[in-house]
């Protein structure tokens, strides 16, 4: 089988050599060639990396990560089910490699995520007999997990998504096992434990759909309460699993502004843009949602028409202009995956679709949207 990533790297190196030669002969200043350089004075540009990339089994992908991005997030390897699959078993094999990956390349290394209801084994909430734990026992379990995981990477992971997705769509607290057993204050406990384990780490509350009115209001109440209680929350992560028409640019703008006015930083933590037909009635990023396959939901199995590439580029460019407007408040924009082939959107919420949500295509070539994002930086940074 052809190794497209290898070919892509060779092609990239070749292009660079030609560019370098041209630059030398014409002595014209070069325009910014990487995302991280284009946005250097605005915010960090991150990417979520997967196991093959962490293990060095995708060298072409790794070269792009190194060249284009200055921050990484682990797509899965620091989630509870991977790092702590059984009560007395911690598995740090992949997460150690993940952290070294970032350190070697002098990147801003993010931890994702400590307390969530998904990708958390059922045993976490039960005792040896299979009965539900009580509040104190679950708090102890949460404390030990956070102490062990955050403590292991103290000073090496610079920011943690501490609590993921604590809110319902109407802004009330989600009745997750954490909330049901511990109560609403599980959120502040998680932040306190994380701060105790690494006082230098930046701590993030992360969620999706915060651009929607009701959910945003709930999040603003939550963050206001945490700040008033002196809970160490530094930033809000807007996941950013967007579509071509959601959220509106106005809602994105309002949302970033609203959190910034509370004195927390804002991160676009999991950016991708879905251009396939919507599979659910309302926009969601709930990983437990599954929708039946249907050819109508997969209109571009063989490639994306140029006109749609352009629309995607315009959408990315418009969103980045909003992020740039809030530079200083927005401190990082992280893409949820490197290339379209890597994206979770190919299998969620419908299995086996051909999705085009990112800036690099299935052969690791920069898409029109990549150039649109570079251009949106405007060379004024």
CB-nearest residue to ligand XIL: 344
In the shown chain, the binding pattern of residues 61 to 100 toward ligand XIL, with x for contact by CB under 6 A and - for none, equals --------------xx------------------------
Residues ≥6 apart with Cβ < 8 Å to 178: 115, 117, 138, 142, 166, 186
Pick 99 or 238: Cβ nearer ligand XIL: 238
Of these, 68, 120, 164, 309, which contacts ligand XIL (CB under 6 A)? 164
165 catalytic residue (yes or no): yes
- CA-to-CA separations, 55 to 111, 170, 265, 309, in angstroms, rounded: 17, 40, 32, 31
- CA-to-CA separations, 92 to 31, 63, 137, 173, 301, in angstroms, rounded: 41, 24, 24, 31, 37
Of these, 53, 212, 239, 309, which contacts ligand XIL (CB under 6 A)? 239
Pick 257 or 278: Cβ nearer ligand XIL: 278
Pick 48 or 312: Cβ nearer ligand XIL: 48
CA dist 339 and 61 (Å) reads 8
Structure tokens at 86: 């059984």
Least distance to ligand XIL from the beta carbon of 142, Å? Answer: 18
Of the candidates 66, 103, 165, 375, the residue annotated as catalytic is 165
Residues ≥6 apart with Cβ < 8 Å to 237: 161, 204, 205, 206, 207, 267, 268, 269, 270
Least distance to ligand XIL from the beta carbon of 285, Å? Answer: 5
User: Is residue 344 a contact point for ligand XIL (CB under 6 A)?
Assistant: yes
CB 260 within 8 A of CB 326: yes
CA dist 19 and 9 (Å) reads 15
270 catalytic residue (yes or no): yes
User: Is residue 178 a contact point for ligand XIL (CB under 6 A)?
Assistant: no
Of these, 37, 58, 62, 270, which contacts ligand XIL (CB under 6 A)? 270
Q: Which residues bind ligand XIL (CB under 6 A)?
A: 75-76, 164, 239, 270, 285, 287, 344
Active-site residue numbers?
Answer: 165, 270
């Amino acid at each position: 089988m052809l190794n497209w990533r290898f070919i892509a790297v060779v092609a990239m190196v070749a292009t660079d050599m030609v560019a370098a030669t041209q630059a030398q002969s014409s002595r014209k200043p070069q325009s910014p060639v990487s995302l991280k350089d284009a946005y250097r004075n605005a915010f960090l540009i991150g990417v979520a990396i997967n196991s093959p990339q962490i293990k060095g089994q995708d060298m072409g992908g790794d070269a792009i990560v190194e060249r284009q991005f200055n921050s990484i997030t682990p797509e899965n390897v620091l989630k509870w089910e991977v790092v702590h699959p059984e009560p007395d078993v911690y598995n740090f094999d992949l997460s150690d490699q993940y952290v070294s990956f970032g350190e070697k390349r002098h990147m801003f290394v993010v931890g994702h995520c400590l307390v969530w209801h998904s990708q958390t084994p059922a045993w976490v909430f039960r005792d040896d007999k299979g009965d539900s734990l009580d509040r104190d026992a679950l708090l102890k379990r949460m404390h030990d997990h956070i102490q062990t995981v955050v403590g292991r990477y103290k000073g090496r992971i610079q920011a943690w998504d501490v609590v993921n997705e604590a809110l319902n769509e109407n802004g009330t607290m989600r009745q997750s096992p954490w909330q049901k057993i511990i109560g609403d204050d599980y959120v502040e406990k998680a932040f306190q434990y994380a701060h105790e384990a690494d006082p230098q780490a930046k701590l993030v509350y992360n969620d999706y759909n915060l651009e929607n009115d009701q959910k945003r209001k709930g999040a603003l109440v939550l963050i206001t309460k945490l700040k008033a209680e002196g809970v160490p929350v530094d930033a809000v992560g807007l996941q950013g699993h967007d579509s071509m028409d959601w959220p509106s640019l106005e809602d994105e703008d309002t949302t970033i502004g609203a959190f910034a006015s509370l004195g927390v930083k804002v991160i676009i933590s999991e950016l991708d843009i879905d251009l396939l037909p919507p599979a659910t009635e309302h926009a969601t990023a709930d990983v437990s949602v599954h929708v039946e396959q249907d050819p109508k939901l997969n209109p571009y199995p063989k490639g994306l028409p140029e006109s749609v590439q352009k629309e995607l580029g315009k959408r990315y460019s418009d969103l980045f202009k909003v992020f740039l407007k809030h530079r200083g408040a927005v401190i990082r924009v992280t893409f949820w995956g490197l290339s379209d082939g890597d994206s979770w959107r190919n299998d969620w919420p419908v299995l086996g679709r051909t999705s085009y949500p990112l800036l690099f295509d299935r052969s690791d070539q920069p898409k029109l949207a990549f150039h649109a994002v570079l251009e949106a930086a405007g060379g004024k940074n």
